[in-house]
Amino acid sequence: METLLLNSDEVHENAEMAELVPAVEEAFAAYERGDAQMPPKSYIDLPEYNGDFRSMPAYLDAGDWDAAGVKWVNVHTDNEDEYDLPTVMGTMIYSDPRNAFPLAILDGTELTMKRTGAAAAVATDHLAVADASSLGIVGAGVQAYTQLEAIASVRNIEEVVVSDLDEERVARFIDAFEDRFAVRAGSIAEAAACDVLSTVTPVEDPIVPRDAVGEHTHVNAMGADAEGKHELADDLLLDAKIVIDDHAQTTHSGEINVPYAAGVLTDADIYGEIGEILVGDRAGRTDADGITVFDSTGLAIQDVAAAHVVYEHANERDNGYPFDLLGLAD
């Protein structure tokens, strides 16, 4: 038995949204049913290096398949300036739950981008209006690309409005997609007026006001992943049907963490978790709904589900580099 080493290009090639989105949906449902184990994310703080490490282990049983793994990820804010390295890097170890054999070691950075997009697509599929055809994106960084790729797999997206302070990033985004969509630069208000809005910024002061958002817009709030981050105005959140991925994580580090800590928003203002909708315990979008918001912090079960899809495809296609990690070859 050999372990498969998969770099970012190979993860990208084998993480097809048509299969990744259903796999992430199955992971959310398994978590809700109690068929998953996901210990809290653990941190190693390294203030002397202006960074930290985070470990995210999980196991899930989706019925037709089960999977286990752990993502080891960092945030080192000086990396780009001092070492010419990304601020965030991730490594995923994907294991066979039957015997713990390490089936693959994958680039976790590309994997994270793909599964984050897939999570937004799952929420969009259940919370956006059925005929949604326009997508606004606030923030034109790397996450924006998988937001469009994934959401376009569940809705017939025709028009895309992207907003970012960096005009070069906007130009690169438009160049990447202009052959597939009517994509243009626009203001935050123009993006927020679309049928679906994804926010993928690291801001701590809200940049999306209530009056900019369409009356039936679905919002994927993807940018907040740490305490203090906050993209959407409080009155927008209070006026929306809020669906979260995990209560402990979202109240600590998701979009709702700031108003929740201040007591502006309480548990009574949270409609439920996405898993509850997927298993049929709560309704998704109804005719009575106006604005809906999905607060996504990113869960380890998503990484495991994505790694499952990538590994299965890579194995079938002989992608990657197989090697004898454990020295078991004859």
- Residues identified as active-site: 71
Residue 54: strand, helix, or coil: strand
Dist. CA 315–CA 312, nearest whole Å: 5
Work out the widest C-alpha separation in the chain, in whole angstroms.
67
Terminal CA-to-CA distance of the chain, rounded, Å?
10
The one-letter amino acid at 317: R
Q: Please, are residues 234 and 261 in contact by the beta-carbon 8 Å criterion?
A: no
Distances (CA, A) of 100 to 93, 103, 320: 11, 9, 20
Distances (CA, A) of 110 to 15, 141, 182, 200, 205: 9, 13, 26, 16, 28
Distances (CA, A) of 303 to 42, 57, 90, 167: 15, 9, 11, 31
Q: Which of 252, 202, 207, 211 is nearest to 229 (CA)?
A: 202
Dist. CA 285–CA 279, nearest whole Å: 14
| Structure-block tokens of residue 304 | 């495991």
Q: Which of 297, 291, 283 is nearest to 194 (CA)?
A: 291
Nearest-Å Rg of the Cα atoms of the chain is 19
